[in-house]
A and B are shown apart, each in its own frame.
Chain A
Amino acid sequence: MSEERDTIRALLGPAGPELTCERCFEELDRYVDLELAGRHADLEVPGMRAHLQGCPACREEHESLLALARDS
């Protein structure tokens, strides 16, 4: 994928409905534990995946929590 396409994606953000940053933080632990349990996290927490695509800070925090909880 070209850098320009990445730029377009970053500027336009996710296509579908997404959570707010506040709701993302509220649901993040449930979402991560669902992911680790191999369950359908995206179905059970609608709007989370889209928000993580659109919000770099929440995406970083999701990556950290997933990695930490996986080792716990």
Chain B
Amino acid sequence: MEGLDCESGDWLDALRDTGPRREAAVARLHDLLLRAARFEVARRRASLPHLRGGSFEDIATQSADDALVAVLAKLDDFRGESRFTTWAYKFALLEAAVRLRRLSWQGREVPLEPAAWDAFAGDRASPHDDAETRELLAALRVAIDEQLTPHQREVLVAITLTGVPIDVLAERLGTTRGALYKTLHDARQKLRRCLAGQGLDIKGVAG
């Protein structure tokens, strides 16, 4: 594997070995993944004030366990283009992040006919906004209402205005994160084309 650093090579050799060397490497890998999962839990625990301390450790352990299975199953996918530890960390971070985002929305309604849209659709431009911003906002409200499908509007509003995490929304709608992001992307492209077609300059605000 071209460019593989020594430490990453040692990890791969040991994890592909048999017997005590592999067992020791798997245990070391689990420790590494648990460290990553605890790191993610620590970053997010403020958003979950109702959970007790023991629950956080359970979440970290479950995330590390699932990440270990994923890493071992995908070992042949590691291309050596990063450090092995960085590659492995991302699986534990993802497991923990998804669990914690779902927990933070557990028991909460995901608003698909949201107040956020009503608030946005109403005229709430601040008197301090410049004319360009006001014009763009007004055109966006109309475009979202008239150009997007109901599903595109639901996804766009939930993720960008209401702040529903994409994996929480995917779970509630029975779809995948990738499919939802495609919907979001298509909706945004439609809005950009619509605004550009009206001769509006969006580069100054949104690139």
Q: Do A and B associate with each other?
A: yes
Show the binding face of A for B, using Cβ within 8 Å. 2-5, 7-16, 18, 20-22, 25, 28-30, 32-33, 54-57, 60-61, 64-65, 67-69, 72
Inter-subunit contact B206/A57 (CB<8 Å)? no
Which residue from A10, A30, A54, A68 sits with its C-beta under 8 Å from B161? A10
Inter-subunit contact A33/B83 (CB<8 Å)? yes
Which residue from A2, A15, A54, A68 sits with its C-beta under 8 Å from B185? A54
On whether A33 and B82 interact (CB within 8 A), knowing A8-B136, A8-B206, A65-B93, the answer reads: yes
On whether A20 and B39 interact (CB within 8 A), knowing A56-B166, A57-B97, the answer reads: no
The residues of A that contact B56 with a CB separation of less than 8 Å are none
CB distance from B201 to the nearest CB of A (A): 12
Cα A11 to Cα B177 with chains together (Å) = 18
Which segment of B13-21, B23-31, B84-92, B107-115 sits at the interface?
A: B84-92
On whether A55 and B93 interact (CB within 8 A), knowing A2-B126, A10-B161, A15-B206, the answer reads: no
On whether A11 and B156 interact (CB within 8 A), knowing A28-B90, A65-B89, the answer reads: yes
Inter-subunit contact B39/A4 (CB<8 Å)? no
Inter-subunit contact B90/A65 (CB<8 Å)? yes
Q: Kindly count the residue-residue contacts between A and B in the assembled complex, taking CB atoms under 8 Å apart.
A: 121
The residues of A that contact B140 with a CB separation of less than 8 Å are 8, 11-12
Inter-subunit contact A5/B205 (CB<8 Å)? yes
Cα A68 to Cα B136 with chains together (Å) = 39
Inter-subunit contact B93/A61 (CB<8 Å)? yes
Inter-subunit contact B89/A68 (CB<8 Å)? yes
The residues of B that contact A32 with a CB separation of less than 8 Å are 82, 86
Inter-subunit contact B129/A21 (CB<8 Å)? no
Chain A residue nearest to B169 (CB atoms) is A57
Given contacts A33-B81, A64-B39, 16 further A-B contacts (CB under 8 A): A2-B133, A8-B136, A11-B191, A12-B191, A12-B195, A13-B185, A15-B203, A29-B82, A29-B90, A54-B188, A56-B159, A61-B93, A64-B97, A68-B89, A69-B86, A72-B83
The residues of A that contact B184 with a CB separation of less than 8 Å are 13, 54
Cα A32 to Cα B87 with chains together (Å) = 10
Which residue from B86, B87, B166, B182 sits with its C-beta under 8 Å from A57? B166
Inter-subunit contact A68/B36 (CB<8 Å)? yes
CB distance from B9 to the nearest CB of A (A): 15
Which residue from A4, A9, A14, A68 sits with its C-beta under 8 Å from B126? A4
Inter-subunit contact A68/B39 (CB<8 Å)? yes
